[in-house]
Amino acid sequence: MKRFLTLVLLAFVSLTSFSQINVLLKQETGLTARANSDELILKASVQYRGSEDSVSLQSVKLNLNGTTSISDVDEVRVYSTGLKDYTDGRFLEAATLLGSCSPSEGDFECELEGSLLNGINYLWLTVNVDANATEGNFIDMSLLSIVAGNEEYELKNPSPAGSREIILARTTLLRPGDYNSSNYRIPAVITAKDGSIVAFTDKRKYNNTDLPEDIDIICNRSTDGGHTWSEPITIAQGTGRFQGYGDAALAHSKDENGLLAVFVGGQGLWTSTPSVPQNSYMVRSNDNGQTWTEPEVITHFIYGKDCTDPTRKNWYASFFGSGNGLLTSTGRIMFVAAIRESGSNYTLYNYVVYSDDNGETWNVSGRASVGGDEAKVTELVDGRILMSIRHGGNRWYNISSDGGVTWQANPSTWYDITAPACNGDIIRYSSVNDGGDKNRLLHSVPVGTDRKNVTVFVSYDEGQTWPTSRCIVPYSSAYSSLCILPDYTIGIYVEEDYYTGKDNYSTVFYNFSLEWLTKGEDKYESISELMDKANVASLNVYPNPANANINIEAEGLKTINIYNIQGQLLSSLCVDNDMMTVDVTDYESGVYFIEGLDERFCRKVARVIVK
């Protein structure tokens, strides 16, 4: 016998005289990822009201209509938490598996072993995502009916709106309550030289407040593209109020497997003074983030009573913009600090803290902003340094033409990035100077007036404009940090609060391709990939890189063509010798293709970098 079950989206309704079961369905809509297990699709709040204390639960009928490809789903599972509800992200901690089944086209059944108790029961319908699922595909599910007590209850509206889109990786690293900590905040992430991903986080043990609270800095590491992560190790352990640490930033050092991190600790920004300063610290790793040195105080290089600079020794406080620092092409390591220059106001000023001796000593730049806050830097292809500055409304930026030592008198404004006053990140994705197919920068920041909708922007003109963007976290979200993986996919480590919207953040790592980020409008291709596609022999060109002339071994060739990185023909030369010399003095710095054609138009190609 079949009975109809009423679907309620906002509230329960009274049961009809013949119904014993009522259901509220909730659709999960956040991004999912390859190889993830037990990814929630539907949550069913099932109210049983009958003459018995319980009724046997025998099966559910499902379909995956709305799923792009059934092959993206390895398994469907149904869990119960009985009469007790849980935050959706933590239901597995108390859930009992009732049954599982393989998906198929059309309607299919999952046999269950369990029961419904009198009252509201919670069922959780999940999927295991295939390890080779297609990025950009969607997973959806309908709960068509429930069989309980040998009776089938059909849902009239079995599929709430929404679905889950697949990306390459999405992993929650830390949630409130994990490892006996009240909260986690302030993500920083970097790809080490061995390809592993290294993430730093504030472990805010007793509350969600900034320094001078008791905070640890911890490190997690992934060696599989962000799918799984190591247990956290403690980099700096707080031992009480005014004795904590926070706000870490990461950069490569010049050592073979080197990373360097800076952070602050102690007094806190607003209680720091020149005589009792909030300290700045540095730690190093020479094994790609597996182990780290003990924190070393570097405060005296920057400000405070022990600083030798007569102006800076009277500054009141300094803290680093958490996320990415920068190792430039010249070997300079730099981070941006937000400075309290005096105790009489709450204005912050941005300066670069930089080292030319691999972190042994540190210098401070000229002022880059008045009224800024957390800021980040990246290097442009012409060697200038671009700084992105936290500012409510349109994002600020500034540019240095001397390696970050001096800055333009006033910051400029990006009118195509509107954000709340919140930390973000800026990094280089690709450069023609390094053999990329084009110049690209990435910027992450919440969009709008509130801390939500963390979005990644793409610039193709060295940060002048940001025409392409995609929202990664379309709900409560704040600080974020970016990295580029060895396969040129993109990683973002971000604070987000999917469930409460009250800044009760978890820290989550996402990985996706440039093609997904740009909705198919852009795709990274290395020069070697472009040459492989040409399926041609290589042409011998030297010196490479070049800055004046290039020599081309042209034996058997009739024509030499030179193209820029966009594929535009710049010059076509008739070959009159077995060795051609071409003047490239007037060429802009970048990557060029050299094509040699013989009399049958068979070709050889080479890539040359002009500096």
241 and 378 within one domain: yes
The pLDDT of residue 607 is above 50: yes
The pLDDT of residue 186 is above 90: yes
The pLDDT of residue 88 is above 70: yes
Structure tokens given for 202 = 């504030």
3-state secondary structure of 224: coil
pTM of the predicted structure, to 2 decimals: 0.87
Structure confidence at residue 530 (pLDDT) = 59
The pLDDT of residue 10 is above 80: no
Q: What contacts 305, CB < 8 A, 6 or more positions away?
A: 274, 275, 277, 313
* Residue 109: Cβ within 10 Å count: 16
3-state secondary structure of 334: strand
CA count, 13 A, side-chain hemisphere, 10: 0
The pLDDT of residue 529 is above 70: no
- Which residues are registered as beta bridge partners of 46? 23, 121
Spatial strand order of the sheet with 440-446 comes to 169-174, 506-512, 490-496, 468-484, 452-459, 440-446, 425-430
Residue at a domain's end among 167, 202, 230: 167
The pLDDT of residue 4 is above 60: no
The pLDDT of residue 523 is above 70: yes
481 and 444 within one domain: yes
Q: How confident is the model at residue 12 (pLDDT cuts 50, 70, 90)?
A: very low
315 and 296 within one domain: yes
Paired sense of beta strands 603-610 and 537-538, if any? parallel
173 and 163 within one domain: no
Determine whether 535 is exposed, middle or buried from the number of CB atoms within 10 Å of its CB (0-12, 13-18, 19+). exposed
Tell me the helix, strand and coil percentages in the chain, rounded to 5: 5, 50, 45
**Per-residue pLDDT tens for 543-559?**
988 888 999 998 888 88
539 and 403 within one domain: no
540: domain CATH number is: 2.60.40.10
Residue at a domain's end among 136, 167, 198: 167
378 and 311 within one domain: yes
89 and 188 within one domain: no
Q: How confident is the model at residue 604 (pLDDT cuts 50, 70, 90)?
A: confident
The pLDDT of residue 252 is above 70: yes
Q: How confident is the model at residue 537 (pLDDT cuts 50, 70, 90)?
A: low
The pLDDT of residue 16 is above 60: no
Query: Are the C-beta atoms of 321 and 337 separated by less than 8 Å?
Result: yes
Place of tokens 């069913």: 44
**Per-residue pLDDT tens for 414-472?**
999 999 999 999 999 998 777 677 899 999 999 999 999 999 999 999 999 999 999 99
Structure confidence at residue 536 (pLDDT) = 55
| pLDDT more than 70, % of the chain | 93
Residue at a domain's end among 473, 495, 525: 525
149: domain CATH number is: 2.60.40.1290
151 and 218 within one domain: no
511: domain CATH number is: 2.120.10.10
Nearest CA to 575 among 585, 591, 564, 561? Answer: 561
442 and 554 within one domain: no
d(CA 516, CA 315): 46
Structure confidence at residue 528 (pLDDT) = 56
Count of domains observed in the chain = 3
**Per-residue pLDDT tens for 57-67?**
999 999 999 99
The pLDDT of residue 3 is above 80: no
Query: Are the C-beta atoms of 188 and 169 separated by less than 8 Å?
Result: no
Structure tokens given for 31 = 């991004």
174 and 162 within one domain: no
Q: How confident is the model at residue 499 (pLDDT cuts 50, 70, 90)?
A: confident
Angle of CA points 211, 217, 222, to nearest 5°: 145
How large is the average pLDDT for residues 223-247? 98
Angle of CA points 322, 504, 414, to nearest 5°: 45
409 and 267 within one domain: yes
192 and 70 within one domain: no
* Range(s) of the domain holding residue 588: 528-610
**Per-residue pLDDT tens for 345-391?**
899 999 999 999 999 999 999 999 999 999 999 999 999 999 999 99
d(CA 156, CA 516): 35
